[in-house]
Structure formats: structure tokens, C-alpha cells
Amino acid sequence: MNSFLLMLLAIAAMTFPSSGVKLPLSVMNDQVVDGDGSVFQFRCANWAGHMETNLPEGLQHQPLQNIVDTLASSGAFNCVRLNYAVELFAKRDMTARQSLRTSLDGALAPHIAPFEKHNPELIDLPLPKVFEAVVKALASRDLLVLISNHVSKAGWCCSFTDGNGWFNEGHFDVTSWISSLSSMASLLSRYPSAVAFDLRNELRTNVHGRARQISDWMRYFSQGINALTERIPKRSSSLAHWITTSSRSWTRERTHGNGTTSASASGTGSSSRDTFIRGVGLEIQPMTAAK
């Protein structure tokens, strides 16, 4: 991903038998570590939920638990990257049945019957509640969840012209994006298995130069981080603790062999292993626009 912010949600310490990880996860230097301080590596299956229906894909073909059982029994994964669109929360009152009936000008209406056959308990739930049901089912098989905001307007990703690439351009309204981060955090904060958040998939622009990219990224991602942390309970029986870095500073910049330039920012607050956000990174594609 061109711009990927992995936010570790410091959640109650517990062990998931199949994944073998003790929570909470946190960041030490440039590595993710578990509650025992051991390095943890994500092995995630990607589950698309950002397409026009704003539903996790495949529920018209298999019962939810069957899909989850297949992932868990494969032994290949310890987590699922679950994608969503900002549009999901603009349609928060729409049910799965209504979405299938109206999406793509009704072309998906034939999927209502098989969806209801395989997942009758989900068909009349509001769209965000379907996502919650998926996270709950994944937790039942000890699979961790990385939530990914993939796009703003639901649909396939990605290009420079799809309107989902850069802050406050096209469909990418920053206010709506931040609101969706808050809403998703509130929806899933009760689930210890929801351990990480990808704030935005593949930030991209072929218009703005590097200085503007860095400025926008730091400004708006800081707002997104704040929105998330404000919606996470400070004290809860299901949450261990939430520690945020109070400021961030650019520390280094380097050019990769593939022609991209990366800059990293690190927190200047607490140096504790339990710090909520220890560091963030940004890759910047070379641009033809004037700097």
C-alpha cells in the first residue's frame, strides 16, 4: 500500500489458542510485539467489504460460520483484513436485504434468496451490524481482525481517477472519513480480536507534489488518529489501556531502489512498549507535478 497506517488497538491481555498471540499487541521500534514482548507477524486473509453492496463478500454463497471455519482450519492465517467503505455509515440504517435489492440498479436482487438461505440471521440486519457479526464470528475461531478503510464511495479500487485517492477531492470527504473511523471504532471496540486499523488504503495523487502530500497526510491522519482514540473507552473491563503519543515529528527520509521515497514519523511522547501509536510511515510516489 502506498500509505498504510497500522494502529494497534491496545486491548485486554488474553491468549488466542490458534493464533498463539497474547494481547495486547503494541509496537516496539519498527516491530509489532505481543503481550509477552515477542515479535508478532500478521498473516491476514483479505475479505472485501468495500464493494457496492457495502457487505462482506460471499455471504450469498456460504453461511458465515462456514467461511470463518475454512479460514481458521487452513492454518495459513492468524487474522483477516476486513475492508469497508466510508459509504457504509451513510447507509447505516439500510439492511442487507435492501442493499442487495437496490445496489447496481437492482442487478444483485437475485442474490437475496441465496443470502437469506445461507445467512437468515443477517439478511435483515443493518449493514454495520453485518460487519460486527463477521468480526464476532472470526473471534469465535480466534482470528484477529485488521479493519481497513478501503475507499469512500463503495466500489473497486484503485486508480488516479476514481475519486477515492486524495483528501477532500472527489468522493474523499475528510469529515465523512473521520466520522466513519469513529463509528467503526465504536462498533468494534468491545471485541478484543479487533487489534489493528488501516486508516486508508492506497492514498494516491498525480496532481500534488511531495511537500503538499506530506503536509496533507500529517494533518488529516492526525485528525483520524484523534477521532479513533476519542471513541475508545479509557477504562473498561474489556480494555486494558489506551496510550497515545501527544506529538509526532519527521525523523528520516530515504529513497528506495524502486524510485519511491519514504519518510517516517515517530512519536515523541511515551517510549513505553504499550504506546498506542509508536510510529507511522508514508510512501510517496514520484510525481510529475511542480513541487
Of 16 and 148, which is predicted with more confidence? 148
Residue 150, CA distances (Å) to 50, 76, 156, 220 in order? 6, 23, 9, 16
The rounded distance, in Å, linking the Cα atoms of 222 and 228 is: 10
Q: How many CA atoms lie within 13 A of 20 on its CB side?
A: 8
- Nearest of 170, 165, 167 to residue 221 by alpha carbon: 167
Query: For the chain, what percent of residues have pLDDT higher than 70?
Result: 73
Q: What is the pLDDT of residues 264-278, one digit of tens each?
A: 333 322 222 222 222
What's the pLDDT band for 203 if we cut at 50, 70, 90?
very high
User: What distance in Å separates the CA atoms of residue 153 and residue 172, rounded to the nearest whole number?
Assistant: 8
Distance CA 263, CA 281 (A): 6
Query: Which amino acid, one-letter code, is at 109?
Result: A
pLDDT digits (tens, 9 = 90+) for 57-78: 999 999 999 999 999 999 999 9
User: Which amino acid is residue 73, in one-letter code?
Assistant: S
pLDDT of residue 258: 36
Least confident stretch, 24-28, 148-152, 256-260 = 256-260
Domains and their CATH numbers in the chain: 6-243 (3.20.20.80)
User: How does pLDDT run across 221-278, given as a tens digit for each residue?
Assistant: 999 988 887 876 553 322 222 222 222 222 223 333 333 333 333 332 222 222 222 2
Rounded Cα distance between 163 and 207, Å, is 13
- Tell whether pTM > 0.95: no
